[in-house]
């Protein structure tokens, strides 16, 4: 006879169910929590990116790269300064930048004659190109604006800019042509060649990249130094001085810092959008980089899947803020830029790799603006000397004589530029970012200028211009 089974213990069965539920909860809840947090962070990232894009749309319509290009290329070719520049480049021989003649020229003080050896070398190098290269460059001076056609890489950072190297070559040619003309006492022709370098700046125009606008500022500096050297060699007519003031003022009014920041923002947006959509393979981006950049980028590439949109938002937000600052007074730029620049430890690897040194861009811009302002005021000083037979007592005299609308304000501290007389002339200068420069770069009589004359423009007394080659006085 079978023994009836013992009835199940209800409490034991309940404990088993509780244990099972607890075990499942122990496994599922952390996973669910992690997934929930991940989805929340992803949603936050999406919102941050959307906010950054909407801010750019609202404050700077038509900010994307295709919009900037459409605006640039709308200028008809017949009005494009880059047209004759391109034709001039085709007549140029091998690259000129950093030529032996240019390096030799840097060894002479601005108001010193050149030795016969360098003069002969310049004749051989420059004269054969005047009927081709120089004629085309003179044509470019008739145009107010310009654009070069750029083949933008889908990753932006892989874009090449051969026309910028060409512009540097042409600027060096003009510098050497001016030096040779000064040796032949053709100071008017030398002046025109120096001023012609600004036509290369106009040809670059609004090109949307940091490298283009940094090149433009470098060309500005070359033009100003060339004009300064011509005035150290001889006398230039008042009409030519006034024209140069207008050209320099027009160049100084160009928002090259904004061009650079807007271009970099548009380019980074294109790059990151292409990576997010899969239209661009990160490995192909690596192939465009040098070895050191590739090593950094390979480390960055491991983070792309999870972090790219977050970094996209951060980069756009940085540029949005930088562009807003760039539209304010120049003397506030450095102070405000410090608030948006993060340390390396505060940035992800991708942001560190893609984001340029914004502070350095601002410093370059201010340096360039200070140099242009000093040149504009100094040309007014030279015009005053020609009209009144003596140097002005202060820059205010130029306003009274209607040679300046107003004394330029120093881009570093909003005060007016400084002016002082020296043993052999006068100098207009900016004290610089540290307010320590005194316009004394060439006071000691050396041919070396450690400040690069970026914060001063020197004018020599007429009897101190075009001095003999050092060491040849006794010959």
DSSP assignment letter at 92: -
Give the least confident one: 88-97, 185-194, 376-385, 424-433.
88-97
Confidence check: pLDDT of 386 > 90: yes
Give the least confident one: 151-165, 284-298, 455-469.
284-298
How high is the pLDDT of residue 306?
56
How high is the pLDDT of residue 1?
47
Between CA 409 and CA 308 the distance in angstroms is 43
Question: What do you get for the CA distance between the two ends of the chain, in Å?
Answer: 143
Confidence check: pLDDT of 7 > 70: no
* Nearest-10 Cα torsion for 233, 234, 239, 240: -20
Find the farthest-apart pair of alpha carbons in the chain and give their distance in angstroms, rounded.
143
How high is the pLDDT of residue 348?
77
Q: Backbone phi, then psi, for 419, in 5-degree steps?
A: -150, 135
pLDDT band (50, 70, 90) for residue 355: confident
Quick: pLDDT tens for 422-469: 999 999 999 999 888 888 888 877 766 655 666 899 999 999 999 998
Between CA 409 and CA 416 the distance in angstroms is 4
Between CA 30 and CA 35 the distance in angstroms is 8
Quick: pLDDT tens for 312-328: 999 999 999 999 999 99
How high is the pLDDT of residue 97?
78
Higher confidence at residue 175 or residue 2?
Answer: 175
Quick: pLDDT tens for 219-246: 999 999 999 999 999 999 999 999 999 9
How high is the pLDDT of residue 475?
43
Quick: pLDDT tens for 76-105: 999 999 999 999 999 988 777 788 999 999
Confidence check: pLDDT of 290 > 70: no
CB-CB contact of 196 with 137 (8 Å): yes
Coil, strand, or helix at residue 145?
Answer: strand
How high is the pLDDT of residue 267?
97
Between CA 29 and CA 35 the distance in angstroms is 10
Work out whether the CA dihedral 218, 221, 225, 231 comes out positive or negative: positive
Quick: pLDDT tens for 27-78: 555 655 545 555 555 677 789 899 999 999 999 999 999 999 999 999 999 9
């Amino acid at each position: 006879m079978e023994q009836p089974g013992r009835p199940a213990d209800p409490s034991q069965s309940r404990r088993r169910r509780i244990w099972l539920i607890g075990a499942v909860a122990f496994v599922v809840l952390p996973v669910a929590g992690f997934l929930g947090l991940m989805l929340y962070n992803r949603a936050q990232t999406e919102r941050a990116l959307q906010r950054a894009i909407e801010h750019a749309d609202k404050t700077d319509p038509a900010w994307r790269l295709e919009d900037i290009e459409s605006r640039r290329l709308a200028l008809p070719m017949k009005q494009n300064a880059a047209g004759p520049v391109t034709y001039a480049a085709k007549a140029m021989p091998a690259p000129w930048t950093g030529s032996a003649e240019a390096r030799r020229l840097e060894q002479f003080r601005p108001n010193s004659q050149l030795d016969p050896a360098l003069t002969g070398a310049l004749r051989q190098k420059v004269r054969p190109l005047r009927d081709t290269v120089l004629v085309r460059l003179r044509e470019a001076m008739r145009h107010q604006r310009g654009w070069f056609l750029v083949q933008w890489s889908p990753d932006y950072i892989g874009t090449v800019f051969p026309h910028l190297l060409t512009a540097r070559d042409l600027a060096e040619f003009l510098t050497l042509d001016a030096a040779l003309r000064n040796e032949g006492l053709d100071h008017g022709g030398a002046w025109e060649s120096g001023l012609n370098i600004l036509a290369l700046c106009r040809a670059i125009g609004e090109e949307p990249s940091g490298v283009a606008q940094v090149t433009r500022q470098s060309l500005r500096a070359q033009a100003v130094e060339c004009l300064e050297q011509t005035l150290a060699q001889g006398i230039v007519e008042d009409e030519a001085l006034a024209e140069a003031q207008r050209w320099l003022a027009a160049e100084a009014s160009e928002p090259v810092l904004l061009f650079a920041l807007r271009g970099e923002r548009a380019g980074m947006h294109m790059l990151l959008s292409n990576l997010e959509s899969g239209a661009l393979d990160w490995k192909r981006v690596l192939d465009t980089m040098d070895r050191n950049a590739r090593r950094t980028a390979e480390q960055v590439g491991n983070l792309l899947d999870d972090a790219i949109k977050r970094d996209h938002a951060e980069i756009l937000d940085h540029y949005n803020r930088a562009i807003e600052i760039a539209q304010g007074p120049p003397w506030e730029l450095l102070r405000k830029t410090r608030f948006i620049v993060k340390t390396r430890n505060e940035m992800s690897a991708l942001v560190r790799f893609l984001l340029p040194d914004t502070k350095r861009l601002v410093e370059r811009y201010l340096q360039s603006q200070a140099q242009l302002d000093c040149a504009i005021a100094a040309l007014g000083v030279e015009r005053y000397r020609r009209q009144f037979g003596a140097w002005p007592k202060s820059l205010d005299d130029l306003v009274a004589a209607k040679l300046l609308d107003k004394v330029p304000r120093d881009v570093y501290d909003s005060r007016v530029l400084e002016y002082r007389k020296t043993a052999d002339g006068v100098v207009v200068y900016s004290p610089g970012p540290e307010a320590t420069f005194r316009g004394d770069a060439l006071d000691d009589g050396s041919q070396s200028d450690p400040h690069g004359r970026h914060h001063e423009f020197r004018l020599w007394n007429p009897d101190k211009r075009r001095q003999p080659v050092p060491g040849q006085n006794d010959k």
